[in-house]
Structure 1
Amino acid sequence: MSARHLNTDSPWLLALLAAIVALGPLSVDMYLPAMPSMMRALDTDISYMHLSISTYLAGYAIFHLACGPLADRLGRKPVLTAGTGLFVLACIGCAQSTSANELLVFRFLQGVGACVGPTLARTVTRDLFGPRRAARALSLIAMLMALGPAIAPLLGGFMLLVLPWPVIFIFLAAYALAMIVLLQVFLPESLPERQSLHPLNILRNYAQLLKDMRFMSVVLASGLVYAALMAYLSSSSFVYMELLGVPVQYFGFIFLTTVLGYMGGSALSARMSDRLDSHQTLVRGAILCLASAMLMWLGGSLRPDSVAVLMLPMTIYAAGMGLVYPHAMAIALAPYPHIAGTASSLLGFIQMGLSGLSAALVGQVLEASAQPMLIAMASCTAGCLALSLYAVRRN
C-alpha cells in the first residue's frame, strides 16, 4: 500500500488528526448511556462504574510518560499504530467481560492504547504547523473532533434500545481499526529529531518541563478544566437517568448541547488566535468556565429536579473549555519543539491524572443528589482561573 501523505494546507489532514484525537473522548462518551445497564448486568454499583472510568483514565495517564519519549525516539506513526492496535484488543476484551473486575482490567488497557491518539496528534500538530500556527490548528481540530462525542452518546443510546451493551465496545474496535488504516496511508512521519531513550535523558527532559513554571501553570489549568468536565461526564448517566428520570434514548441529546457549545468555543478560539495572544484567550475561557460552573451549582441547589439548570450552563462551560484547551496546549508546547512528544505526554499525564482522581472522588460520594458533581466542578474551575492568571503574570 503506497502512502499518499496529506500536506499542511489540506483540510483532510486536520480532519484525520481530529478523528485520531476523538478516539479518547469516544471511549468515555459512547458507553455513558450503557452504564446503568452494565451496572445491572455485571452485578455491581454506581461507585464501581465510576471506577471503570477512573481505571481507564489511570491507564490513559500512566502510559503518557512512556508514549512521548517513545515517539520522540521511534517516530510518531509506529507508536500511534501500536497503541491503537492495543486499543482494538482491549475493546474486544471489554465486550467479552463477564464481571466488573474483568471490565476494569480491560478498561485500563483500553486507556493505555487510547492515550497515543490525542497525545501524538497534538505532537504531530506542533511538528507540522509550528508554534504560531499550532493554536489555530488545535482549535480547528477540537471543533472537528467534537463531532464524534456529539454523535457518540446518541448512537450509544439508540444501540441500547435493540442491542446489548457489548456492541458499543465492538463499534469502538472497528473505529480504531479504520484509524490504523488511514494512518498508514495518509499521515506523514513528522519526527524532526530523534531523541535518546536513555533513562537519564528522559528524566532530564521531564525535569526541565517540571521546573518550567509557565509550562506547569497552563498544564495544570487545562488539567483542572478537564477534571471538572470528567466529574460531569462520569456522573451524568446517574444524575440524568437515575435521579432526573431521562429516558436512555434521549440521554444523547443532552450531550448534543454540550458538544455544540464546545464546537462554538473552538471555532471562536480559532478566530481569536489571529487577534489575541493565547494567554488572553486562556483567561477569557477560564472566566467563562468558572461563571457557568457557579451558575450550575446555584441552579442545582435551587432546582434539584430540573434538567435545564444543569444542561444549559454546561453548554456555556463547554464553550469556555473550547477557548481554554487549545490555547493552553499551544502555550505549553511552543518552547519545546525538540521534545514535543515528551511535553505532550506530561501534559496528558497531568490532565488525565487529575480527571481520574476527580471522577473517582465524585463517584464515592454521589448518592442522592448532583451536589458532589457540582461542587467538584466549581472547585476545579476556580483553580483553573487562578493558574491562568498566574501564567499571564509569568508571561
Structure 2
Amino acid sequence: MSERIGWRYAVLVPAVLAALSMIGPFSIDTPFPAFPEMGRDLDVDTGALQLVVTVYLAAFALMSVFHGPISDAVGRRPVMVAGIAVYVLASLGCAVADSLPLLLGFRALQGLSAGGATIVSRTVIRDLFEGAQAQRLMSRVAIIFGIAPAIGPLLGGALLQVGPWPLIFGFQAGLGVLLVLAVVLLLPETHPRERRVPLRVGAVLGGLLAVGRVGAFHRLGWATALIFGAQFLYIGGAAVFVVDVLGQGELDFWKLFVPMIGSMMLGSWLCGRAAGRMSARRLVSLGCTTSFAGGVLGVVVAALGAGDEMPWAVLGVSLVALGNGVTYPTLQLMLLDRFPTRRGAVVSLASFLALVLNAVTAVAVVPLLGSALGFAVAALIGVGAGQLCWAWHCALEDRDCAVAGVGEREPVELL
C-alpha cells in the first residue's frame, strides 16, 4: 500500500486494532483493586484470588495457539467477532458469579475467547502495510495498547467508588459490545480467500509445527517474551508489589502503572519515529540494551534500600518498559515478515510462548517475590535472558549471511 494513506487507515484502523489488542491485558488487571471486596463477598483470601489472574492467563495461552491459524483459514474478521461475542457472555457470567469456582469458570471462558481480538488484530497491519509504514502503524497500535495495563486498575478502582465489584465485569461486557460493532463497521477483511489455507485439523497443526521448527522463530519469540516478561512481573504481581511491598491502597495502583506504561508508550512512539531512519536490527539492539540497563538499575536501587519507596521503586521497571516499547513493535514485524504465508500461526505461537511464561510467572514466581529486591532480581534475569536470545539470533544471522554472501535473509515461505 502507498506511503500516502487515507485518514481511515492512518487513524481509525489503528485505533480499532489497538482497542482490540487492549482487551487481553485490560482483562488481567482491572479487577485488582476489587480483590479485598471480592475476598469478603466470596469468603476467600488474597492467595486464592490470585487464581483469578492465573486461570485467565492459562486459558488465554491454551487457546492462543489456535486463534491465528484459524484466521489464516477463515479470515480475520470472523475470528475477531466470534471471540469478542463469547467474551461478552463470559464477562456477564463473571458479573453474576456468587462463588469463586463459578467466577474462575467464567474467567477461563474470558481467557479462551479474548485472544480472538488480541492475537488476530496483530496480523491485520502487516496484511495491509509494508516496510516503514507498517512499523509506524504498529508503533501507534502499541502506544494505545500500552494504555490498557495503566487504565485497568485505575478504572477498576473508580468503578468501585460507584458500585460493587461485579460492575467491573459489566463494564468489560459493554466494552466487548462496542468492539464487535467497531469490527463490523470499520475494519476491512484483510486476508482474502485466495491466500487462505484449508480449515482442517491437519493443516492447522501442520502450519504451527512448520513455524515451530524454525530456530529463528524461537530466538525472536523468546527474546520478546522474556524481556516483556520482566515487565509483566510487576503487572501480574501488582497486587503484591503495590499493596504488600509499597504499602499502598486500592486507589494507588497508578503509582506503578502510570510511569511504567507511560515509558512503554514513549518507547513505542520513538520506534515509530525511527521507522525508515534506523535499521530494525539496530533499533531492537538499542531497546534490548535499554531494558537491560533498567534491570540493573532496579537491582541497585533495591539493594540500596530504596526499592520500597516512591518514586525510586518504579525507576528500574520504567526503564525496562521504555526498552520494551522500542523493541516490541519491531520484533513483531520481524516475526511476521519471516513467515509471510503463516502470519496467524506465527502470532499465535509467539503469543503462546509469552502467555505460558506469564502464567508460570503469576502462579509460581510472583508468590515468592515478597520484596522489592526479589522483584528486581527476577526482572534482571528476564531481560538478561532475552538479550542473550537476541544476541544469539544476530550472531547466527551474521554467520548465515556471510556464508550466503547476502546482506539480509530471505523470508521463509511455508506452504
TM-score (norm 2): 0.88
Q: Deviations over 1:301-347 (max 9, x none)?
A: 32343132222222222111101211111111102222111111111
CA-CA distance at 1:180 after TM superposition: 0.1
Picking from 244, 247, 251, the partner of 2:253 is: 251
- Kept in 2, the 8 Å contact 1:8–1:129? The answer is no
Q: Could you say if the C-alpha distance between residues 38 and 279 of structure 1 is closer, same or farther in structure 2, counting changes exceeding 3 Å?
A: farther
Structure 1 counterpart of 2:377: 375
Q: Secondary structure in 2 aligned to 1:164?
A: coil
Of 274-283 and 14-23, deviating more is 274-283
Q: Deviations over 1:283-312 (max 9, x none)?
A: 221221122122222322323431322222
Q: Deviations over 1:156-205 (max 9, x none)?
A: 11222332111111111101110001110010001141101223322332
Structure 1 counterpart of 2:92: 92
Q: Secondary structure in 1 aligned to 2:129?
A: helix
CA-CA distance at 1:253 after TM superposition: 4.0
Distance 1:231 1:151 in 2: 18
Distance 1:227 1:50 in 2: 18
Structure 1 counterpart of 2:117: 117
Of 46-55 and 315-324, deviating more is 46-55
Q: Could you say if the C-alpha distance between residues 202 and 326 of structure 1 is closer, same or farther in structure 2, counting changes exceeding 3 Å?
A: same
Structure 2 counterpart of 1:142: 142
Distance 1:118 1:338 in 2: 20
Picking from 294, 306, 311, the partner of 2:309 is: 306
Structure 2 counterpart of 1:153: 153
Highest relative contact order (Cα 8 Å, sep 6+), 1 or 2?
Answer: 1
| 1:1-395 → structure 2 map (5 Å cutoff) | 9-130=9-130, 133-192=133-192, 193-301=195-303, 302-366=305-369, 368-395=370-397
Q: Deviations over 1:256-295 (max 9, x none)?
A: 1112111100000111222222222222212211221222
CA-CA distance at 1:8 after TM superposition: 6.5
- Kept in 2, the 8 Å contact 1:131–1:330? The answer is no
CA-CA distance at 1:394 after TM superposition: 2.8
Q: Secondary structure in 2 aligned to 1:334?
A: helix
CA-CA distance at 1:382 after TM superposition: 1.0
Distance 1:362 1:161 in 2: 32
Distance 1:394 1:8 in 2: 40
CA-CA distance at 1:132 after TM superposition: 5.1
Structure 1 segments, 4+ long, off by >6 Å, are none
CA-CA distance at 1:134 after TM superposition: 2.5
Q: Could you say if the C-alpha distance between residues 394 and 136 of structure 1 is closer, same or farther in structure 2, counting changes exceeding 3 Å?
A: farther
Distance 1:22 1:70 in 2: 21
Letter in 2 for 1:60: F
Letter in 1 for 2:32: L
Of 19-28 and 270-279, deviating more is 270-279
Letter in 1 for 2:239: S
Distance 2:368 2:35 in 1: 17
Distance 2:336 2:363 in 1: 29
Letter in 1 for 2:360: L
- Kept in 2, the 8 Å contact 1:50–1:363? The answer is no
CA-CA distance at 1:142 after TM superposition: 0.5
Structure 2 counterpart of 1:3: none
Of 74-83 and 93-102, deviating more is 93-102
Q: Deviations over 1:129-163 (max 9, x none)?
A: 13553222211111122234333322211222332
Q: Could you say if the C-alpha distance between residues 176 and 289 of structure 1 is closer, same or farther in structure 2, counting changes exceeding 3 Å?
A: same
Bigger radius of gyration among the two: 2
Q: Secondary structure in 2 aligned to 1:91?
A: helix
Identity in percent? 30
CA RMSD of aligned residues (A): 1.9
Distance 2:374 2:102 in 1: 28
Q: Deviations over 1:72-118 (max 9, x none)?
A: 11111111011001111111122222222222222111111111212
Letter in 2 for 1:243: V
TM-score (norm 1): 0.93
Distance 1:305 1:351 in 2: 28
Letter in 2 for 1:352: L
- Kept in 2, the 8 Å contact 1:282–1:323? The answer is yes
Q: Secondary structure in 2 aligned to 1:162?
A: coil
Distance 2:352 2:277 in 1: 31
Letter in 1 for 2:200: H
CA-CA distance at 1:7 after TM superposition: 7.4
Letter in 1 for 2:224: S
- Kept in 2, the 8 Å contact 1:289–1:316? The answer is yes
Letter in 2 for 1:10: A
Letter in 1 for 2:204: I
- Kept in 2, the 8 Å contact 1:131–1:334? The answer is no
Letter in 1 for 2:47: S
